[in-house]
Amino acid sequence: MKILSIESSCDETAAAVVEDGRIVLSSVVASQVEEHRLYGGVVPEIASRRHAESISGVVKEALTQAELTLDDIDAIAVTFAPGLIGALLVGVNFAKGLSLATGKPLIPVHHLRSHIAANYITHVKLKPPFLCLVVSGGHSHIVMVEDYTKMKVIGETRDDAAGEAFDKAARTMGMPYPGGVELDKIAELGNERAYSLPHPTVADSPYDYSFSGLKTSVINLIHNAEQKGNTIIKEDLCASFRRAVVDCLTENLFRAADDLGVDTVVAAGGVSANTLLRRELARICTEKNMKLYVPRVSLCGDNAAMVGAQAYFEYMSGNVADYDLNAVATLPIDYR
Ligand code: KG4
Ligand code: ZN
């Protein structure tokens, strides 16, 4: 089954053709990041307008690269939640139009479920059940993936997402948006024990995260140093901050893995590209004799190939939308 998929939940306009949930026939991503960088973050109004301008070209290009026409496509899939509402609406309406014009089924896809599905492309034999750490710019979740479309949230952030914390810390250190990637690169050069930062936990919720305190500590540390005329060693602060975030992420994840008795751990989302997170997951999984799967780095960030992958399993479970499908800004991953 060949699915044409569309993603427009944030600042990438993307389209792909994916066969049977695992084989990517094409994947096109038009990023708006350069424009949003001027403002230090995503400007929702600009994102929606750029999606509207790019979407038809991106979809055409996905078909061209797959050497297919709309006649060869079996279904149209689209990210409908969660995300920036105006941005999502562009993809949803375009997909509805395509579905209506061609008579092909319309498959609604949850953005975080699609991040998880990036692993089905990278690891063609991977099947649920597994425990998944979903870490992106907007979410930090520990999810028990019982089946392709059946999941349970075990833990989540109470405030900032891990990606957001990386971006805000990076911004305070003068790096352009989104700073997570650059902070990661600079951290490779530093001493992670140079600065002592808190490892916040959430009382009585052993699997939940809280990153806002950690972010504030970095901001305070920088401001205090500036006031006293002390120099901050950027490499060391990046390394210490990255270590604190990764420790928080892995501590709760493996606490949950141990408590639930799972033997397979998966990572997903933009932050799963983080070098230290990948190294630590590999180290701990080897130590605990658990199997680990992470997406290939090119599939960690937002793309439509992952949407096409998840869409296949949604379709197989009977999840097909009517033409009244609407975009939804916030929706739990276990919505159905
Ligand atoms: O999943 P994603 O592409 O978009 C959302 O759904 O939010 O995640 C983007 C987030 C950004 O916060 C970005 O800074 C972060 O992922 N990110 C990283 C790395 N690569 C991307 N954070 C830390 N280290 C990285 N290597
Ligand atoms: Zn995402």
| pLDDT tens digits in sequence order for the chain, 336 residues long | 999 999 999 999 999 999 999 999 999 999 999 999 999 999 999 999 999 999 999 999 999 999 999 999 999 999 999 999 999 999 999 999 999 999 999 999 999 999 999 999 999 999 999 999 999 999 999 999 999 999 999 999 999 999 999 999 999 999 999 999 999 999 999 999 999 999 999 999 999 999 999 989 999 999 999 999 999 999 999 999 999 999 999 999 999 999 999 999 999 999 999 999 999 999 999 999 999 999 999 999 999 999 999 999 999 999 999 999 999 999 999 999
- pLDDT score at 143: 98
Is ligand 1 within 6 A of the CB of residue 184? yes
Ligand with minimal distance to 295 CA: 1
Residue to substitute in 29, 111, 271, 303 for testing ligand 1 pocket (most ligand atoms within 8 angstroms of CB): 271
Contacts of 220 (CB under 8 A, 6+ apart): none
Ligand 1: distance of its center to the CA of 117 in Å?
Answer: 16
Is ligand 1 within 6 A of the CB of residue 178? yes
- pLDDT score at 3: 99
- pLDDT score at 1: 98
Residue to substitute in 181, 275, 330 for testing ligand 1 pocket (most ligand atoms within 8 angstroms of CB): 181
**What backbone torsions phi and psi does residue 68 show, to the nearest 5 degrees?**
-135, 165
Is ligand 1 within 6 A of the CB of residue 83? no
- pLDDT score at 72: 98
Nearest CA to 263 out of 271, 254, 272 is that of 254
Is ligand 1 within 6 A of the CB of residue 308? no
- pLDDT score at 255: 98
- pLDDT score at 186: 98
Is ligand 1 within 6 A of the CB of residue 136? yes
CB 86 within 8 A of CB 45: yes
Is ligand 1 within 6 A of the CB of residue 321? no
Ligand 1: distance of its center to the CA of 161 in Å?
Answer: 10
Nearest CA to 86 out of 49, 128, 57 is that of 49
Is ligand 1 within 6 A of the CB of residue 269? yes
Long-range own/partner contacts, residues 212-218 (CB < 8 A, 24 or more apart): 212/159, 212/160, 212/165, 214/165, 214/241, 214/244, 214/245, 214/248, 215/160, 215/165, 215/168, 215/169, 218/169, 218/172, 218/173
